[in-house]
Structures are given as C-alpha cells and as structure tokens.
Amino acid sequence: MPACRLYQELKRSLLVALWFIFLTFPLMVVKVDLVERVVHWRWKNMLFVGLAGFFFSFLGRWIMQRKNPGKALGKGTAWSLRFCPDPKIRKILIVLLLCLAVAFPQIFSSYQTTIMTTALMYVVLGLGLNIVVGMAGLLDLGYVAFYAVGAYSYALLNYHFHWGFWTVLPIGGLIAALFGVLLGFPVLRLRGDYLAIVTLGFGEIIRLILENWGEFSQGPSGISNISRPGFFGLELSLDAAILYIYYLMLAFVLVAIFIVGRLQHSRLGRAWIALREDEIACEAMGIDKTKTKLTAFALGAFWAGIIGVVFAAKTTFINPASFTFLESAIILSIVVLGGMGSIFGVILGAFILILLPEYLRALAQYRMLAFGILLVLLMVFRPQGLIAPGRRAYFITKKPDPET
C-alpha cells in the first residue's frame, strides 16, 4: 500500500473510531447510579471502543485493498459471494441442512426449538416481502399489516365461531391477499419514497384500528386462549405442540422456497424484475403494470397472512403491540441484508437477525450494541447483501448454414 494511500486509510479509520465513540458514549461511558445519585465516567470503555473501531476499520480496509487493488473502500468496491457454484456440493449441503433441520428438536432443548421456530417464521415472512421489494422493487414499509390481518383472522374466527387452525389457515392467507390488493390499487402510480410513506401509513392504520376498535378486536387487551394447531383431533401437550409447530413451519419454509423459486423464474417473475429495473421500459414492452404490481402485493401479503395465523396459534395470545412498525423494519432488514431477490440470502438474513440477538444475551446490556455493530460491518462490506442474486444469462446459438 503506497504511503499516500496508507495515510488516507488511517485517516478514514480514525474518523470511524471517533464516530463509534460518539455513538456509544451514552451507553459505554456514562453510568448513572440512581441509588447514590452519582454519575460514573468510564473513560476506559471509551478508549477500548476507539481502539477497537480503529483496528477493525483499518483491518477491513486493508482486506478490501488486497481484494481490489487500486480501489479504496466505499468507492464502488464490490465483491461477490456465490452460494456453492458447484451443483453437486450444493445438493450435498442442502441434504445435510435438511437432515440437521429434521433432527434439530431431538438434539436441542424446547427453548432452542421455539427460537428456531420463530426464525423459520421470519424466513417465510422475508420470502413474502422479497416478492414485493426484492423482485418487484416496491418498497413496502407496512408489511406487518398483512401479518396482523392473518393473526386476527384466526383469533377472531376461533374466538367467536370456534373454527380450527387448518380451516382458517387458507382463509387468513386469502384475506391478507385481499388487503394486499386493496393497498395496491391506491399506490399504482407511486414509487420510491412516496410508496414507502403510503404503505407505512397503511400499516399504522391497521394497528390503530385493532387497538381502538375494542368491540371488534378486544382493543389493547388482545385476544387470549387461542387454540393451538390440532393433529387429527388430538389434544397436544405443550412440548408436543412446540414440536408440531416446528415441523409445520419447516414444511411451510420448504413449500415457500419451492413456490417463490418457481415464481422467480416464471414469466411473472421476469415481469417483476423488469418492473424493478425500469418501469417505463417494462410498460413499453407490453407488460401490464397494474396486474403485475397487484399480483406482487397479493402474493406477498398471502404469505404474511399464513404466518400470521401460525403466530396466533403458536402464542395463543395476540394484541396490537405485536404488530408495530419495528416488525416491518426487521422483515425489510432481512431482505436487504440477505440480498434483495435472493432466496438463500433471505434465509441467511433471517437466521442472522433473529437468532443473533438471542445468542448475544451473554453480553447483557451490550448485546444490542454488538448486534448493531455487526449489522453496520455487514452493510459496509456487503452493501449488495450477503448473497447477491446472479443475473440469468441467455445465449443464442446461430445454426450453421447447410449451404456453407
């Protein structure tokens, strides 16, 4: 590394360290003792944060410089991560992962199984939002509204009419898809930030209706004693229900991967990708923009409604506090972090964002800080996502002329 470039990278790393010190100062340095009414200043922590920020920033820049000589970090540098390009190795890995997933509840405790079930739920939610954001390019910040519609569909039908889980499961998905179409119609002409603001408002409207319309949704008190999924009419114990819902979610994940993968490579999926790349050119090629957008909203909402029904059956209690904007932000982060349009990227992103905070509990009050730092590092080094989707290439071979 030349001396001039080395000086620039050291300067940038120093600025990064100072920025991390500024961000973490209230948490890492200032400690208020409410009993003694004394403020403790932990200057050693500030020194550790600064040194760690400087070291890791410079290390990352050095690694990127080695991979891309002649380019500085943050100036168009991008490197690709391919998901097992060898098909044989890919198939072996998939089989091993499926075997591990099936044997997971037998190896680990019920607590670990419950956490993994939650992660699998967010995998399906991420795949559903990936249709809208990753493939169609429609920034939806109110995705949690469809999740809430599915959950409350099962809760209310079970509470008032005693309908079972399997009866309401397709109904919850279809109702959520209907809401997706209803949202799609007003936003057909919107794109970018305007679309994000409208969908965000839609999510908040649904939450406020559920919170304030007490006669319909029981208000902030929520709905309790929701029935768990049945197994041919048998009543399951708590441990058996945890196991049953885990395998149910594993099946849903496999079905969602298959369907979303087929959609991605279908004529409709190519229309979504064309819509994402250039809406005007897409319409000029004869693609019906209205149907394409509405289909994306409906299919994405359908998966959210399905998982909403599962969520209500899993927790046996729901209230509007479970469907805040933070949930939409987490699901969107899963899609962006994994790689927009990438199925395996969404799966990896869901596992990182859902499992990592749980396994960082040993860090106590610093776990969310460590979690945020890891996310920042990932987005700095992988701005296109962990597994960026590859573009499909088509080759046209010219037939040889028989006369020649």
Q: Tell me whether residue 80 is in a domain.
A: no
Q: Tell me whether residue 387 is in a domain.
A: no
Say whether 366 sits in a helix, a strand or coil. helix
Co-location of 144 and 215 in the same domain: yes
Residues 6+ positions from 112 with CB-CB distance below 8 Å: 104
Co-location of 173 and 320 in the same domain: yes
Co-location of 36 and 149 in the same domain: no
Q: Tell me whether residue 200 is in a domain.
A: yes
Quote the CA–CA distance of 222 and 319 in Å, as a whole number.
4
Lowest mean pLDDT among 49-53, 110-114, 237-241: 49-53
Average pLDDT over residues 100-117: 90
- Mean pLDDT of all residues belonging to the chain: 82
Say whether 257 sits in a helix, a strand or coil. helix
Q: What is the pLDDT of residue 74?
A: 42
Say whether 270 sits in a helix, a strand or coil. helix
Co-location of 287 and 358 in the same domain: yes
Instruction: Note down the domain range covering 53.
Output: 3-67
Co-location of 152 and 241 in the same domain: yes
How many domains is the chain partitioned into structurally? Answer: 2
Q: Which residue has the higher pLDDT, 365 or 351?
A: 351
Q: What is the pLDDT of residues 242-282, one digit of tens each?
A: 999 999 999 999 999 999 989 988 888 888 888 888 888 88
- Give the global pTM: 0.79
Tokens read off for 216: 């319909």
Q: Tell me whether residue 338 is in a domain.
A: yes
Q: What is the pLDDT of residue 367?
A: 64
Q: What is the pLDDT of residue 3?
A: 65
Average pLDDT over residues 44-69: 74
Q: Tell me whether residue 213 is in a domain.
A: yes
Co-location of 51 and 200 in the same domain: no
Burial of 2 by CB count in 10 Å (0-12 exposed, 13-18 middle, 19+ buried)? exposed
Q: What is the pLDDT of residue 393?
A: 59
Q: What is the pLDDT of residues 306-331, one digit of tens each?
A: 999 999 999 999 999 989 988 888 89
Q: Tell me whether residue 73 is in a domain.
A: no
Co-location of 346 and 242 in the same domain: yes
Q: Which residue has the higher pLDDT, 386 or 226?
A: 226
